Every structure is written in C-alpha cells, then in structure tokens.
Structure 1
Amino acid sequence: MSQLPPLNGLRAFDVAGRLLNFRAAADELGVTQGAVAQQVRQLETYLGVPLFERLPKGLAFTSAGRSYHVTIGAAFDALRRATDQLRPEPGKVLVSVTPTFAAKWLIPSLPDLSAKHPDIDLRIMATEKVSSFHSDGIDLAVRQGKPPFGASLNAHLLFRQEIIAVAAPSLVEKYALPATSHAIASMPKVHDAHYLWPEFLGLLQVEDRGGRGLRLSQTSLAVDAAIFGQGVALVSRFLVATELEAKRLLQITPLTLSGEQDFYLLAKRQSKQNAAIDAVVTWFLERAEN
C-alpha cells in the first residue's frame, strides 16, 4: 500500500494552488512564505513532478499540478465537511426537505422563525434525494410517507395530503367556478413528477382534452407555471395557501385527492435534550397549524 505524501506539503499545495501565490498562502496558513515554498518543494520531490511554474508575480500550475489540485482540493473540502458535521455548533440545526417544500413553504416562513428564535442557525438541505441522518449529519427531515419511519426516529404530522387543482385567474376567466368536469378536461394541464392527472380526471369521469400540456420535474415549477397562466396544476393545498389567499391562484373545483402519503417532520430520538432542535420542532408544528 502506497504511503501518503507529506500532509503539510499537501496542505501548503492546496492553499497555494487556490491562491496561486506563496505569500498569500503563508498569510492564510499563519507561517512564513519560505515555509510554504519549502513544503511545496518537498511535495514535488516526493511526487517526482513539478506542480507549479514559479513566476515573477506569483505561480502558475503545470498540467500535472492543475489536475492534481482538483483532487487534493476536493479531498480537503470533504475533510472540512466531515469535521463540520461532527463538531457540535450551538444553535445549528440542519433540516432536509425537498426543493418544492423549501421554496413554497419553508423559505417564506423563515422570517417568523428568525423573529422568534434569532439565535438558531437553521440550515436547509434542499434535495430530492433522501438524506441520511447518519451520513449526511441532518438533524430534521420533512418526508412524505406513512409511519412507521424507523424505531430511531420521532415522526410529527405536519400536513395531511390534500391535492387540489389550481390555475391563474387569467386562465379561468372564461370558465365559471367551480368549473365543470368537461371544462376541466378541456383546460391545459401542468404535469409534475407525481403524475396525478390521470387519477384526478378519473374521479371526474372525463378524459383529458387539454392537449399535451407542460411537463416539469418539480411541483414548485408546476406551481410557478400555473401562476403564469400556462395551465392547471395539481398540488398540495398547504403549498399554495399564500397564492390562494392573494388570488394569484384559484381552486377551480372542490374535488380533492387524498391518500396515505402525508407530510411528517422526522427527528432523531435523542439521549439528551438539544434546545435548538426542540425549538425548531415546536416551531414547525405551530407554523403548520396556522
């Protein structure tokens, strides 16, 4: 098994490569310029290839140095992230949510959290990927599903699944509300990854006559498309509550879809209390009730 290169040299190379200047690297590392230059020379000797071209006013990568720095920089970034996740930071709470939940509910609600808990540093991981409490270091997660979610997790119900059909006033001006089943069948549709329109139209006992429609990968994009009059979207009611109140969107029929895939806030079962996490959980539950 190959030995690792000298770690001080790797660190000096990482910083010098990012700044392309030994003096600036020395300032960041808190050592002398000569020490940085010597550590990089030792690394080059170990590797047997030059990593930098020394210029009168700085440094330039060699071709080997440039490709090596990409890998070394990524390795140090991974070490920093791993250390940040391991080291406790008072008041930091990392929550995993989908991009749609972040854009349409959580981010618009954050001013209320900041006002009530100014010392809490809420960090949002918005991804369609199911993040891991262990490997990703998250503290809370919003999941759509059905309990149980696991013996190590506490599950708090946030929102029941209630899918409604919404459209911009400009699109429905020629239709009386609530729209008839045949009118809805003729309206253009906005589709997202959940593909709920066949089930919804099945409840109405009509077939889609609205054309191909617009197909998008995320519900938040479908909501935005509906706001701009590009079609009728199917979306959970709580995600468009603000738009409905402001009349930017209208519910075109009282018919709704419901199911067992409700929205839950998940938290790890803790051996000791964490005041920041507990405060965020309480805030989520209170905000969801409003």
Structure 2
Amino acid sequence: MSNDIGLPPLNGLRAFAAAGRHLNFRAAAEDLGVTQGAVAQQVRGLEDHLGLRLFLREPRGLTFTEEGRAYHAAVSRAFLQLSEATAALRAAPSRVTISVTPTFASKWLIPRLAEFTEAHPGIDLRITATERVSSFHADGIDLAVRQGRPPFGASLRADLLFAQEVVAVCSPNLIAGRDLPLGAADVSRMVLLHDSHDLWPRFIEAAFGDGTELSRGVRFNQTTLTIDAALAGQGIALASRFLVQRDLKAGHLVQPLNCALDGGLDFHLLTRRQGASDAALRVRDWLLGMANRRD
C-alpha cells in the first residue's frame, strides 16, 4: 500500500533495483535471497503501481524500457544514499557530555584521556569545564563531578570518586636545603597560595595549633592556578591529594608539611537514575575504575 506522498512499495523498488543491476530475475532473486517468482511479482506490482512498463521481458533476459532506464538510475542513487546515511549513522560515535570543574579537568581527567580513548574509541566524550553547577536537563549533560555532601537529588545516583583529603604541596626547589617537615616559623616566611576554598586558616590550625598567624599570600579563583603556581616555585598550595598525586609521585611536587586535612566536601560522580545511555554508563564505570587505581 502506498503512503500519503505516493511512494511505491519498498519491496517493489528493491526488486526493481536488483533486477535492473542484473537484467535477470533469477540473479536478482539470488541477490535478495528470495525466489525468482517473488522478484517477478514485485516488479509487476511496481509497474502496476506506476502505470507503465519498466522492463521488456525477452527470452534471454530483461531489457529496460526508456522510462525504466531513467527510473533505475534514480532508484539506484536513492538506495546508495540510504546505504551511505546508514553507514555514517552506525559509524558515528556515541556522544557523552560530562560536567566537571576546570581543576578536575586539567589536573585529573585530561592526563588520563588517552587511556579513555584507547579503551572506548566509539565514544565521543565532551567535557564541559565550569565552576557553574550545570543542569542535567537544561544543559544536556550525561554525567557530572560534584564536590559536596549527598544527596544531590532523588533523580541522581551519586558514586564517591575521591575524599577531599587536603595536603600542602610545593616545588622541591622552593624548600631545597630545608629540614622537613617545615615548622611554623618556616611557613610564616613562605608565600601561601590561596584558592576560593580558603582552607589555609583551618590547615594552619590543624598543623600547628590555634593562634598561629598566616603568612603573606597570593589569591587565585581556581585551585588549578594555585597548583600551577606551586609547580612554578611561587609558594605553597593546598590541594586534594588525588589532584596532585601524579606530580608528587614524579617528584615535581613535594609535601612540606605532614598534615592532611579532611575538607569535608568529597568528590562524587553523578549519573541519572533513569534514562542514562549505555555509553554514559560505560564512561561512569571507567571513571570509577580509574579513581580506584589511585594513581
């Protein structure tokens, strides 16, 4: 039965395209995996639908009518376009958008992206790095890394990625020749690198007790900038241990103080409880697996 815009039956078009390629019903039937009689019947049905003949049936096979030859060229182009569109759709990677802070992106996620793309070449991972809290619905995100305390909403699943274990870090060149850990007097002569979390007062109190005064400092609006400044030897920064673990292991950073502060705002991976795509769930599992490696 034809549709509202008058398209012929698809089976008839397929039979006509195959028969036109071979100019033979038998060969067309082998192509389509049906009987020769079925191909002949479908082509006759197409001709009836169009109200004209597409082939001349001759003892040695088929020959096109003038209309049939032109129509076959157009039908063949249409099937080729459908095939190419389908192949492109199947080859298109699954898209997953994750919302993270700039610090999490630059200090933890980006250094591990090569491992992700190798493990999941079929996923187009899109990273939105912002301090703003993105909306799963309005901003079209699939996953988010949030710092805080659950619950984050009844519609969201929260998996713990990292505890906020805050440590002090600096370049080894900054404290060359000094005995470690540094004492309060040493720290008072150092530049302290502050971020928007403003954890230095709590950290100094935990390390040296109440009443210890803060030294001079430089303030940044993002933790990633304080870590970069510490790497450049410009002072001592505070950061969650997992963000600086690789630099500590490589010797690019050292811990001048033995204190570790529980910041209380842990890092969680959020996923929709309903409607998460298979690709998003694979990204979630990969992130959790990488977090458990602790490298």
The residue type paired with residue 199 of structure 2 is L
Residues of 2 paired with 1:282 and 1:221: CA distance? 29
SS in 1 for 2:127: strand
CA distance in 2, matches of 1:153, 1:107: 25
Bigger radius of gyration: 2
Query: How far did 1:259 drift?
Result: 3.4
Structure 1 residues 208 and 170: alpha-carbon distance in aligned structure 2, compared to 1, 3 A threshold: farther
Q: Is the 8 A contact 1:167 1:227 kept in 2?
A: yes
2:259 matched to 1:242? no
- Aligned with 1:105 (options 99, 104, 108): 108
Contact 1:223/1:235 (CA < 8 Å) preserved in 2? yes
Q: CA deviation at 1:242?
A: 1.1
Q: Secondary structure at the match of 1:223?
A: helix
Aligned to 1:190: 193
- Cα separation, 2, equivalents of 1:176 and 1:209: 20
Give me the TM-score of the superposition, normalised by structure 1.
0.66
Deviation at 1:209, TM superposition (A): 5.4
Alignment counterpart, residue 204 of structure 2, candidates 181, 201, 204: 201
Q: CA deviation at 1:90?
A: 5.3
Q: CA RMSD in A?
A: 1.4
Q: CA deviation at 1:104?
A: 0.4
**Unaligned regions of 5+ residues in structure 1, if any?**
1-88
Q: For 1:1-290, what aligned pairs fall within 5 Å after superposition?
A: 91-203=94-206, 204-205=208-209, 207-208=212-213, 210-211=215-216, 213-271=217-275, 274-290=277-293
- The answer to which of 130-139 and 198-207 deviates more is 198-207
Q: Secondary structure at the match of 1:250?
A: coil
Kept in 1, the 8 Å contact 2:170–2:231? The answer is: yes
8 Å contact 1:186–1:208 — kept in the other structure? no
Whole-angstrom distance in 2 between the partners of 1:289 and 1:180:
33
8 Å CA contact retained: 1:186, 1:209:
no
Percent identity reads: 51
Tell me the distance in 2 between the aligned counterparts of 1:200 and 1:155. 28
- SS of equivalent to 1:221: helix
How far the C-alpha of 1:207 sits from its partner, in A, is 2.8
Tell me if structure 1 keeps the 8 A contact 2:167–2:261: yes
Contact 1:165-1:234 within 8 A present in 2 as well: yes
Q: Counterparts of 1:200 and 1:234 in 2: how far apart (Å)?
A: 9
Alignment partners' CA distance in 2, 1:185 and 1:258:
22
Who is 2:35 aligned against?
none
What is the distance in 1 between the residues matched to 2:234 and 2:180? 18
Match of 2:9 in 1: none
